[in-house]
Amino acid sequence: MRGEADRTQHAANSDNRCGSAAPKLSAGHCRLSARRSTAGLTLVELVVAFTIMLVLTCMAVPLARAKVRVERERALRRALDEMRDSIDKYKDYCDAGYLGPPKAGSNCWPESLDKLVEGIKLPTSPDGKIIKFLRKVPKDPFTNSSDWGFRSDQDDPKSTSWGGQNVFDVYSKTDQKAPDGTPYSEF
């Protein structure tokens, strides 16, 4: 009797290939169901996943652009501060008489930024010591060049043309504006 029950159980399992909990179905249906579970993502799943990725990307791009702009603004402010500090230091040394007699019409302001990089030979130094006020002319982060706008002490404070007498101030030559509407050339 036990052998008869085993054969009946084996026959029931062979008829139900999807498992013992599922209703008895044809063998073709069970194979198709198994194939669906291993085939991958459906079209709807792909569309949903793509839409989520698109939304996240659209949110990330403006944030990345804003971060780049903030970094450029910081770099611009650092470069301007560095150059303005070296111009002021040159002016202080010239006013104190350490650099010798000033060039006529310069009012003790440097002639160019290159003069600050090359350095000035101290006339009172017996060994010909040279004072450098600036290591190198920094690059403008917005124009990616070392070409800066200059103003002399005789130019209008908002002028974009340089009189050439001396370098009293520097500004960026970019025409871009900060988010608050301030031109970067007025930083």
Inside any domain, residue 24: no
- pLDDT for position 140: 92
Inside any domain, residue 8: no
Q: How many domains does the chain have?
A: 1
Under DSSP, is residue 134 helix (H, G, I), strand (E, B) or coil? Answer: coil
Inside any domain, residue 9: no
* 153, two tokens: 């002490």
Gap between the Cα atoms of 165 and 28, Å rounded: 93
Inside any domain, residue 34: no
- pLDDT for position 105: 75
Inside any domain, residue 119: yes
Only one residue has tokens 């706008």, namely 149
Inside any domain, residue 140: yes
Inside any domain, residue 102: yes
β strands within the chain, DSSP E: 120-121, 130-131, 149-151, 169-171
Inside any domain, residue 180: yes
Instruction: Tell me the average confidence (pLDDT) per consecutive run of 10 residues in the chain, 187 residues long.
Output: 53 50 54 57 88 88 88 94 94 88 83 90 84 92 89 76 81 89 87
For residue 85, the enclosing domain spans 43-186
